[in-house]
Structure 1
Amino acid sequence: MALPASSEGAIPHPGVGTDDEASVYRVYDASGALLYVGMGRNPMNRWASHSAQHAWWHRARSYRVEWFATRKEALAEELRAIREEAPECNIHSVPGWGKEMYATYLKKLEANRARHRSGTTSA
């Protein structure tokens, strides 16, 4: 996982929240476009997960992290940010967002189903 460099992303915190604390993080591409908004106690662990699971991660170039005193506050900010800031790669919480990524996923899923129906196992 290549942790994105950032002009805004210095984490003013030890990096891992307490049982109550949580962060909201925003990940941006090279042009500064918002790719993703997420929440968690340990942003670096979340980024490692994203880098292993999501095709958009290779586009990540910078980030911003905000800390909240409670998980409830962080969740409220995450949902607000997803709704109002329209990150390209968030496909949860707001109908219609992430359409391109979801359409690609559905095409791959259908291709896999077709291969299984035909008995072909190679990609």
Structure 2
Amino acid sequence: MSLQRTAELMAQLTDAAWFDERACAAYLGITVDTDVSKLPGFPPPDERGLRHVLDVEEWAQSTRAETETALYRHYDGRGALLYVGISLCAIYRLSQHRRKPWSRQIARVSIEWHPTRSAALAAEKKAIKRERPIHNVIGARRG
């Protein structure tokens, strides 16, 4: 996929509440050429061929226990760990972190995949406890 198409998809993901087939796939962190209408229980499109983000997210929540999930880490330019989190789509989640006051400090992102959401949650909890990222509430460093 071209860099321009990726940018267009990200703009659609962050600025719109209605997704076409490719944007649904990108949001879910799967290949954008996936026919999402064939996913079991996936919400049907409206008359325009679009799906609302809340319907897509509700479906994703209901299937996440069985879905490969990303554990991501955000680092600053010196290598300090800023934040640890999990998501089906780490790129979309990064765009959501833009609203955080510390987001401009992000210089590098690492992503590791886990076979299920529960495995990713366990790894996230362990990472926060061991690595003490600066901006995780649970793992926040105290003066």
- Partner in structure 2 of residue 60 of structure 1: 106
User: Counterpart of 2:84 in 1: which secondary structure?
Assistant: strand
Select the structure with the greater relative contact order (CA < 8 A; seq sep ≥ 6). 1
- Could you list the runs of 5+ residues in structure 1 that have no partner in the other structure? 1-13, 101-123
- Could you list the runs of 5+ residues in structure 2 that have no partner in the other structure? 1-25, 31-62
Q: C-alpha separation between the residues in 2 aligned to 1:33 and 1:27? A: 9
The answer to whether residue 127 in structure 2 is matched with residue 81 in structure 1 is: yes
Residue of structure 2 aligned with 1:71, choices 117, 125, 132: 117
Output one character per residue of 1:24-79: Cα deviation in whole Å (capped at 9) or x when no partner.
00000000010000101000111111002x11100000010000110000000001
- Partner in structure 1 of residue 29 of structure 2: 16
Which TM-score applies when normalising by structure 2?
0.53
For these two proteins, the number of residue pairs brought into alignment is: 83
Alpha-carbon RMSD across the aligned residues, in angstroms, is 2.1
Taking every aligned residue pair, what percent have the same amino acid on both sides? 35
Contact 2:132 2:141 (8 Å CA) reproduced: no
Q: C-alpha separation between the residues in 1 aligned to 2:96 and 2:131? A: 23
Contact 1:91 1:99 (8 Å CA) reproduced: no
| Equivalent residues in 2 for 1:1-123, closer than 5 Å | 16=29, 19=64, 20-52=67-99, 54-92=100-138, 94=139, 97=140
